[in-house]
Amino acid sequence: MIKVGIIGGAGYTGGELLRILIHHPSVHIVYVNSKSQAGKPLYATHTDLLGDTDLCFSDTLDTDIDVVFLCSGHGESKKFLAANPAFKDVKIIDLSTDFRNQSEGFVYGLAELQKSKIQAAQYIANPGCFATSIELALLPLAAAQGIASEVHISAVTGSTGAGQSLSATSHFSWRNNNISIYKAFTHQHLTEIGMVLDSLQTGFDEALNFIPYRGNFTRGIMANVYTKFEGTLEEAKTLYKNYYAEHPFTHVSETPVDVKQVVNTNKCLLSLELHEGNLLITSVIDNLVKGASGQAVQNMNLLFGLPEKTGLGLKSVGF
């Protein structure tokens, strides 16, 4: 059994990680650390866990574990590791932005990009949610040196992407029956998307024109990505299907895709269309699963030599 510690287990990503790991056949959760909830049962915060576990939040920082998941806010992981150097000998999976530039020995944890590097790693930087969806839309093109012009991206995310802390733009009264743009052309995930594309297509310097939207739903991402493509639609589909043939969570659909197909799963579904020389790739994921905690468990499976899908046979909502 893999002995697991979780730091920052009271938020959305921590809760989603718990929902997966509690039922993972090869995991023993040793502790779930939370400064704000220490001593309280997990189900006091994550009420859907009532009946699944009697485990309580703790203030424990024991290093007698095999892997620690860092689920605190952005900027907190670096502070935590600086204050707790004993964790340097434990495998680390960080769900924040802190090490996505692959600094300090961290490997970028996108299995569809570099599975073998993840398997050999000590520390993993889990990708961002928008970044995951957009990168999976573009990896096959970049690997074929096929992005020859600027890329246009329009993507919408559910409210859980903003985290659990209440703000004006995540409040139900404002977000319900509403949609809005934020961080147009400047979203923080653009840095890691550019890094990933450059790792496949050497010298990549095409513009990534990204317009993110806040959706009036709780979870899921749909990214619509288009760029120039010299080829037929069938050639594009073959390119994508061949690239993802050995990756169990990413699938190319012959029909249009929608968010409900992937909510509560670790899947990414892609659909392709060709319009007057523009290849349109639609990519859908669950921002909390494939975009965060599910991908983190996928990375844990790779780190410990387990089949990639272990504990991730999750059911979509369907309706």
268 flagged as catalytic = no
Strand order in the sheet with 91-94: 57-58, 27-33, 2-7, 67-70, 91-94, 123-125, 106-108
Mean pLDDT of the chain: 95
The pLDDT assigned to 169 comes to 72
**Residue type at 191?**
T
Percent of the chain past pLDDT 70, that is, above it, reads 97
- CATH number for region 2-127+290-303: 3.40.50.720
Catalytic residue among 56, 71, 129, 268: 129
- For the chain, the distance separating the N- and C-terminal CA atoms, rounded to the nearest angstrom, is 35
HSE of 185, CA atoms in CB hemisphere, 13 A: 3
pLDDT band at 170 (very low <50, low <70, confident <90, very high): low
Residue 77 vs residue 317, higher pLDDT: 77
Where in the chain is CATH 3.30.360.10?
129-288
- Residue intervals of the chain classified under CATH 3.40.50.720 are 2-127+290-303
pLDDT score, position 299: 98
Count the helices and strands in the chain (H runs, E runs): 9, 14
Query: Which amino acid, residue 228?
Result: K
Report the pLDDT value the prediction gives residue 318, as an integer from 0 to 100: 80
Q: Is the dihedral of CA 97, 61, 3, 262 positive or negative?
A: negative
Residue 8 neighbours by CB distance under 10 Å: 23
Query: 211 near 154, Cβ under 8 Å?
Result: yes
Least confident of 21-25, 60-64, 279-283: 60-64
Residue 319 pLDDT: 81
CB 312 within 8 A of CB 266: yes
Where does the pLDDT of residue 160 fall: very low under 50, low under 70, confident under 90, or very high at 90 and above? confident
pLDDT at 161: 67
Give per-residue pLDDT as tens, 3-16.
999 999 999 999 99
Segment 108-112 mean pLDDT: 98
Residue written as token pair 């957009």: 134
Query: Which fold, 129-288?
Result: Dihydrodipicolinate Reductase; domain 2 (3.30.360)
Mean local confidence (pLDDT), 35-57: 95
DSSP SS3 for 81:
helix
Phi and psi at residue 70, to the nearest 5°:
-100, 110
- Nearest partner of 263 among 296, 224, 295, 290, judged by Cα: 290
Instruction: Tell me what pLDDT residue 35 has.
Output: 84
Report helix angle 129-143 to 111-119, nearest 10.
100
Average pLDDT over residues 73-91: 94
Assess whether pLDDT exceeds 60 at residue 233.
yes
Res. 166: pLDDT tops 80 = no
| pLDDT reading at 171 higher than 80 | no
Residue 315 identity: K
**What stretches of 110-188 show up as alpha helix (H) in DSSP?**
111-119, 129-143, 172-175
* The pLDDT value given to residue 228: 98
Task: Report the percentage of the chain scoring pLDDT > 90.
Answer: 90
How far, in Å, CA of 309 to CA of 278, rounded? Answer: 34
Confidence check: pLDDT of 242 > 90: yes
Confidence of residue 60 (pLDDT cuts 50, 70, 90): confident
SS3 content of the chain, % helix, strand, coil (to 5): 30, 25, 45
